[in-house]
């Protein structure tokens, strides 16, 4: 047995067709005056307007979400932002449903509604959860999401994330090394003594997609006092840059914090750290410099 068609009830077929054609990035096929089909893998998504088909029925929105797996979630989100309808609700893990976030069950996704109230969810195809314990993260994990609008185009904002001389200033680091490519290295140290740094953080570049996405993972963290969280290797940080006219929005999403109390202090410190870090980026852009002598303990970005 297999599922081959899912019905989306709509009151007016043409605006529904436009919405889904834009969201799914395909034209679809009109099969009757009141039905328009889109191919989603092995399943047909069928828009159905009873009135247009001459049926004496009234359409009501579906009760729960229809989930789509997409290869490029950021690009799908850009199309959704243009269309409107992104959710304003806060979901599990205190995460905004209308923003891209890694959910407690491991999926990266965002939620929205079509013009007729049908709830939808778009999910990064590499992270879909089917209920199996092999599908990534199955326990509850916490994450941090922040965003900042900057008076720079997307390319200039992205350069702030991989240019060592810029990172050193906005992150108040002593030294920074970046090998800017997929599989490359993103590392920084703090402290006045180059031969004996107080803190060092290093990560692999998991996704390198300029000027849109930079994802860091496989973190290692070294502290002179030996205070290294045991879960540090599970953390991932993703930077997303969205164009907004001649400006851009920088989004940061850090995931992988265990829900257990052992992570509470570190999680709280990283929440404060990201607030301070984005403030540092804003100062760097506004003034062109910040206090390079600030030797505060870093958040593990």
* Tens digit of each residue's pLDDT (9 = 90 or more) over 153-175: 999 999 999 999 999 999 999 99
Torsion of Cα atoms, 66 then 72 then 75 then 77, to 10°: 30
Which ranges in the chain belong to alpha helices (H)? 13-24, 73-83, 154-162, 164-170, 264-287
**294 has a pLDDT exceeding 50:** no
Separation of alpha carbons 196 and 203, rounded Å: 19
Q: Which two tokens stand for residue 219?
A: 């973190």
Confidence of residue 141 (pLDDT cuts 50, 70, 90): low
List, in order, residues 6 or more apart from 4 with CB less than 8 Å away. Answer: 42, 43, 44
As a 3-state breakdown, the chain gives helix, strand, coil percent values, each rounded to 5, of: 25, 35, 40
Phi, psi of 14 (to 5 degrees): -65, -50
Q: What is the mean pLDDT of the chain?
A: 89
pLDDT digits (tens, 9 = 90+) for 211-258: 999 999 889 989 888 777 888 888 899 999 999 889 999 999 988 888
User: Do 162 and 292 contact (CB within 8 A), yes or no?
Assistant: no
Separation of alpha carbons 115 and 36, rounded Å: 16
Q: Which two tokens stand for residue 196?
A: 């004996």
**pLDDT at 31 (0 to 100):** 96
User: Do 273 and 166 contact (CB within 8 A), yes or no?
Assistant: no
Mean pLDDT of 51-67: 94
pLDDT digits (tens, 9 = 90+) for 70-96: 999 999 999 999 999 999 998 887 889
Phi, psi of 218 (to 5 degrees): 55, 45
**pLDDT at 32 (0 to 100):** 97
User: Do 256 and 266 contact (CB within 8 A), yes or no?
Assistant: no
Confidence of residue 292 (pLDDT cuts 50, 70, 90): very low
User: Do 208 and 186 contact (CB within 8 A), yes or no?
Assistant: no
**140 has a pLDDT exceeding 70:** no
Pick the residue with more confidence: 175 or 131? Answer: 175
User: Do 235 and 217 contact (CB within 8 A), yes or no?
Assistant: yes
| Cα 232 from chain centroid (whole Å) | 20
Confidence of residue 129 (pLDDT cuts 50, 70, 90): confident
Phi, psi of 192 (to 5 degrees): -75, -20
DSSP-based three-state secondary structure for 99 = coil
Q: Please, what are the domains in the chain?
A: 5-127 (3.10.180.10), 141-287 (3.30.530.20)
User: Do 211 and 157 contact (CB within 8 A), yes or no?
Assistant: yes
Instruction: Report whether the peptide linkage leading into residue 211 is cis, meaning its omega lies within 30 degrees of zero.
Output: yes
User: Do 155 and 143 contact (CB within 8 A), yes or no?
Assistant: no
């Amino acid at each position: 047995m297999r599922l081959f068609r899912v019905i989306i009830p709509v009151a007016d077929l043409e605006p529904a067709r436009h919405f889904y054609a834009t969201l799914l990035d395909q034209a679809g096929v009109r099969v009757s005056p009141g039905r328009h089909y889109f191919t989603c893998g092995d399943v047909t998504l069928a828009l159905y307007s009873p009135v247009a088909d001459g049926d004496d029925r009234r359409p009501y929105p579906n009760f729960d979400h229809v989930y789509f797996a997409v290869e490029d979630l950021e690009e799908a989100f850009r199309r959704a932002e243009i269309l409107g309808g992104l959710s304003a609700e806060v979901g599990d893990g205190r995460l905004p449903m209308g923003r891209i976030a890694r959910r407690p069950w491991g999926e990266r996704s965002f939620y929205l509604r079509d013009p007729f109230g049908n709830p939808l969810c778009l999910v990064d195809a590499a992270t879909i959860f089917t209920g199996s314990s092999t599908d990534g993260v199955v326990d509850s994990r916490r994450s941090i999401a922040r965003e900042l609008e900057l008076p720079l185009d997307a390319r200039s904002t992205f350069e702030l994330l991989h240019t060592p001389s810029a990172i050193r200033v906005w992150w108040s680091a002593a030294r920074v090394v970046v090998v800017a490519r997929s599989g490359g290295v993103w590392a920084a140290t703090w402290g006045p003594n180059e031969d004996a740094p107080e803190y060092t953080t290093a990560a692999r570049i998991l996704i390198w997609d300029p000027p849109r996405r930079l994802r860091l993972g496989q973190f290692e963290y070294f502290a002179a006092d030996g205070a290294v969280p045991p879960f540090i290797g599970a953390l991932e940080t993703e930077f997303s840059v969205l164009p907004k006219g001649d400006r851009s929005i920088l989004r940061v999403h850090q995931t992988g914090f265990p829900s257990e109390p052992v992570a509470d202090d570190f999680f709280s410190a990283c929440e404060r750290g990201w607030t301070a870090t984005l403030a540092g980026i804003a100062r760097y852009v506004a003034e062109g410099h910040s206090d390079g002598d600030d030797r505060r303990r870093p958040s593990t970005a």
